[in-house]
Amino acid sequence: MAFLRPGLIATWLLLTASTAFAEKALLPIQGDLVGSMDTMSTRYEDTFADIGTRTSIGYLELVHANPGVDPWLPGEGTQITLPQQHVLPDAPRDGIVINLAEYRLYYYTNGGVKTYPVGVGTEQNPSPLTQTKVTMRLESPAWYPPASVRAEYKASGDHLPRMIPPGPENPLGPYALKLSAEGYLIHGTNKKFGIGMQVSHGCIRMYNEDIAELVYAVPKGTPVEFVRQPVKVGMKGNEVWLEIHRPKEEMDSDTKDFLWRRVMERMDALLDVHPGIEFQRAAVELAIDQADGVPRLVGERVRQMAQAIDDTEQSAKSL
């Protein structure tokens, strides 16, 4: 395994930074739905991995939002959907929230939210469901593989040294955020492919351009919460929006039954907070059948009921 010589590390960092995305937009929070859907026309040489890298969208997000399109050869002039609209997770809107089920990180700041695609742990090495916090910013981090990872490499016939210095061979990329959960980082990567998938040994992997922005924006002590919510339901005004992410690629009857139960649980919880909602069963069924991570309008708070509730709230305020 070849490593970058120390004298070239600065050059590597400069080249990495020079391909940066435009800074992520701070999305205003008005209800539970943020962002907007978009489309683009592909070039002949495009792949979904390339498009994801250019637009900061995860690979599986693009695959699920564009059924029937070959992710490795979409072809010249193919119109594809860019899934850039999201129902916010059911979690405190404070600091960082990582929804493992949708491979996405939400950073709440300055009254809004910035959101980024991430790679998460595999089934064999899952990312933790925990509450933690940021403890340190790391620039040009060296990687010290844990014994379990070195043993895994050894079993497959590869040797992994105890320390890998900064450079293109380092899987942590150019920046990382250290968490108080021992052994876990939010970090960059030395691979273009894998963001928006289960690929890591438990850490959270980001595009280098995204972590380069996030690492300097997040202060020490910022809370970080890991959740797993394949089903998200939220309100925008009187509208009800449903977003579903498939827990596994095969949509068999057991998976659909699981999603139906979760949808019913989320809808019951929403009704406790927003009475008077009417759901459109056909729209809910379509969202479950597709399970493509695209938010869908599935119901509405009945306007008469909504007005009555607003009148009651106004009367209460005037007392």
Active site residues: 187, 203
Q: Which of 124, 104, 103 is nearest to 34 (CA)?
A: 104
Question: By CB neighbour count within 10 A (0-12 exposed, 13-18 middle, 19+ buried), where does 216 fall?
Answer: exposed
Question: By CB neighbour count within 10 A (0-12 exposed, 13-18 middle, 19+ buried), where does 90 fall?
Answer: middle
Write the CB contacts of 93 (distance below 8 Å, at least 6 apart in sequence).
29, 108, 113
In 185-302, where does DSSP find H-type helix? 208-217, 253-273, 281-290
Contact 277, 302 (CB under 8 A): yes
**Token pair recorded at residue 251:** 């949509």
**Token pair recorded at residue 256:** 């659909």
Instruction: Give the whole-angstrom CA distance, residue 223 versus residue 132.
Output: 6
- Give kind and range of the element (H or E) at residue 63: helix 59-65
Contact 52, 82 (CB under 8 A): no
**Token pair recorded at residue 158:** 């590869």
The residue written with tokens 């949708």 in the block is 102
Residue 140 gets the label, from left (phi > 0), alpha (psi -120 to 50) or beta, of left
